[in-house]
Amino acid sequence: MRILVVGAGAIGGYFGGRLLQAGRDVTFLVRPRRASELASAGLVIKSPNGDVTLKNPPTVQADKLTEKFDVVLLSCKAFDLDDAIKSFAAAVGPNTAIIPMLNGMRHLDILDQTFGAGRVLGGLCAIAATLNEKREVVQLQPMQSINYGERDGKLSDRVKAIDEAFRSGINGATASQNIMQDMWEKWVFLSTLAASTSLMRTSVGNILAAPGGRDFLLGMLDETSAIAAASGYAPGGPFFERVKGNLTTEGSPMTASMFRDIKAGLPIEADHVIGDLIARGDAAKVPVPKLRIAYTHLKAYEKQRVG
C-alpha cells in the first residue's frame, strides 16, 4: 500500500513518521524548504510514546508528483485546502482513498466536488503536537488517535486494508463504522471550545471562575449540540458527559488551538469551523446567538490581522 502524506508538519509528520517507522511505504509531499530540512536533519519525532529520527524520509514536491497512490493522508488547515488539493491532485487515481483529517464538514463537500465522493473517506485525529524551533515534531501529551471509515458506515475491503497498515504503526488507529458521528461529535466539542476560549481570550478554568462563566460555556455547548442534532448526528452518551466534564472542570488550563493561533497572530479557521456550523444551524432554523457573537469576533480579528 502506497501512502502519500500531504505535508510533514506536526500532524502529518507524526502519523506519517510512525507509519514509516513501522516499515510502511510512505512518501511526504512537501515544499522545497521542508524537503531540505528533512534531507539534512531527518524527520525527528520527540514523543512520550518514544523518540525517533528517520533519516532521509522519502519526499516529493508537487511539480514532480506523477505516480498514483493508494492512500492520501490530508492534514492541512482549512485555509490551505485549495492549494493542497492542487498539490496532490496528480497522485489521485481511480482507486485512491483520500483520508482528510480537517475539522468540520465543509472540506468533504470540496473534496467530493473535486475528486468524487467515492474517493473521500471520513477521518479525524486527536493529538497535541507542534513543530519546535528546530523543526522537530514534538508530541506534547501521550494521548493520540486517528479514525477513518466509509461515510456510509460500511466496513469495506479498502478500509480493512488501510486499518491493517495504520494499526501496525500507530497506537490509537481505528477503523470506524460511525465516522460521520465521530466527526460531528469532535466538531461539537472543538467549536464549543474554540468559540468560547477565543471570544473570552482565556482558558476554560478562567471562564468558569467568572460570573456566568459556567452558563456561558454550557450554553455554547447547547447551541453546537442542537445543530448536530438537527443535522442527524445528536451527540450523547459517554461523549457528551465527557465533554461537559471537560468544560466544567474548575481551574482547567484548556484552550483551543484557534485561541492560541489568535494570540500568535496566525490565520484561523473561522469560516470552516464556526461559520459553516452557523450556516447549517440557519438552514435548520436553530438559534445560535452565542456562536454568532463568537463568529463576529473571529472575523473582526481576521480583518484586523490583514488590515
DSSP 129: E
**pLDDT of 144-157, one tens digit each?**
999 999 999 999 99
CATH 1.10.1040.10 in the chain is located at 182-306
Give the whole-angstrom CA distance, residue 96 versus residue 253: 41
pLDDT band at 46 (very low <50, low <70, confident <90, very high): very high
C-alpha distances in Å from residue 67, one per residue of 24, 28, 88, 92, 169? 17, 13, 10, 9, 24
The tens digit of pLDDT for each residue in 123-133 reads 999 988 889 99
In the chain, which segments carry CATH 3.40.50.720?
A: 2-177
In the predicted structure, residue 238 carries a pLDDT above the cut 90: no
Neighbours of 223 (CB within 10 A): 24
pLDDT value at 140 more than 90: no
The C-alpha cell that represents 183 in the structure block:
466527526
Residue 68 pLDDT = 97
Please confirm, yes or no, whether 68 is among the known catalytic residues.
no
Which amino acid does the sequence have at 17?
G
**Sequence letter at residue 303:** K
Give the largest Cα separation in the chain, rounded: 58
Cα–Cα distance for residue pair 295/274, rounded to 1 Å: 6
| Helix or strand (DSSP H, E) at 262 | helix 257-263
Q: What stretch of H or E contains 94?
A: strand 92-100
Confidence of residue 98 (pLDDT cuts 50, 70, 90): very high
For 74-77, which contacts have Cβ atoms below 8 Å and span 24 or more sequence positions? 74/6, 74/98, 74/99, 74/100, 74/101, 74/102, 75/5, 75/6, 75/7, 75/9, 75/11, 75/12, 75/15, 75/100, 75/101, 75/102, 75/125, 76/6, 76/7, 76/102, 77/102, 77/267, 77/269
Domain 2-177 has CATH 3.40.50.720: yes
The set of cell numbers assigned to 210 is 467568572
pTM of the full structure: 0.93
Tell me the mean pLDDT in the region 172-177: 96
Q: Pick the catalytic residue: 186, 263, 290, 299?
A: 186
Q: Phi first, then psi: what are they for 44, rounded to 5°?
A: -105, 125
CATH class as words, domain 182-306: mainly alpha
